[in-house]
Amino acid sequence: MPIKLRKSRKDTLSHLPADPEDWSLFVVRNRLRLVPSFVNCVFLTRDAHIMSASRGKRQLSAARHTLHYLSHVVFGVNFTQLGKFTYRDRTSVANGCRRIEDSRDDPSADKLLFFSELALNEMDNHMHGQVLGGQNGAGLDPR
């Protein structure tokens, strides 16, 4: 059986953008991988539906607005970058975030968003090897 050789460092970095303006969008997309997956699980949707050009039904709009809100609040992504990520105008993203923020007056919606923010922060910290308080979230040894 032939031995597979590892690609050279140059080959492994070829997917990175050369233009600095594209770099910020690359970082945003890389960091935001968690949010659509998380929102899809909570709202029982799919990426193709959330990213589609049509508004869709009320539940789909709520899922998209939640995606925008969590991305903005948890990761600090601005509305323009979020618009590029989800193929929406920045004003549409801002409107969605405002709607979700207004929905926090409802205790059940506030609880859902609070724990969603907490979960996304923990997953992001875990993915990047940052452990809060010197131990993982459950206080167990990660080995």
Length of the chain (residues)? 143
Structural domain includes residue 143? no
Q: How far apart, in whole angstroms, are the C-alpha atoms of residue 64 and residue 7?
A: 38
Domain span at residue 73 reads: 22-126
The enclosing domain of 42 has a CATH number of: 1.10.1750.10
Note the pLDDT of residue 47: 83
Structural domain includes residue 97? yes
pTM: 0.70
Structural domain includes residue 5? no
Torsion angle of the four alpha carbons 108, 110, 115, 121, in this order, in degrees rounded to the nearest 10: 160
Note the pLDDT of residue 114: 96
Structural domains of the chain, count: 1
State the burial class of residue 21 (Cβ atoms within 10 Å of its Cβ: 0-12, 13-18, 19+).
exposed
Structural domain includes residue 11? no
DSSP category for residue 7:
P
Structural domain includes residue 80? yes
Structural domain includes residue 13? no
Radius of gyration over every alpha carbon of the chain, rounded to an integer in angstroms:
18
Note the pLDDT of residue 69: 96
Phi-psi region of 45 (alpha: psi -120 to 50; beta: other; left: phi over 0): beta
Residues of the chain with pLDDT under 70: 1-30, 128-143
Structural domain includes residue 114? yes
Structural domain includes residue 15? no
